[in-house]
Amino acid sequence: MRTLRHTCITALHDAGCVREQIRAITGHTIASINEVLDRYTKLTADQAGAALERRLAHENGTVQKLFNRPTGVNEERTKR
């Protein structure tokens, strides 16, 4: 039962609920909710951070390729 409640807290948080709403639904205290979120959302935050780093690296590589093209080729895109 405890794992199910923790899953519910995490899912509600991921859905955008604030802690007061989560407390009203689950009956957990704010302190307990914070403990659960600290434990279970760290992986999500780490994964999101890694994904953003990969995305920025990809974007920087794409931008670099655009600027390495000969003059006059696709100038509209390089001006953006």
pLDDT band at 75 (very low <50, low <70, confident <90, very high): very low
- Asked whether the predicted pLDDT for residue 74 surpasses 80, the reply is no
Phi/psi-derived region of residue 28, left when phi > 0, alpha when psi is between -120 and 50, beta in every other case? beta
Where do the structural domains in the chain lie, given as residue ranges? 2-79
pLDDT tens digits, residue range 30-61?
A: 999 999 999 888 777 777 888 888 888 888 87
- Asked whether the predicted pLDDT for residue 76 surpasses 60, the reply is no
Cα 45 to Cα 49, 54, 62, 65, 69, distances in angstroms: 6, 14, 25, 30, 37
pLDDT tens digits, residue range 3-28?
A: 787 899 999 998 889 999 999 999 99
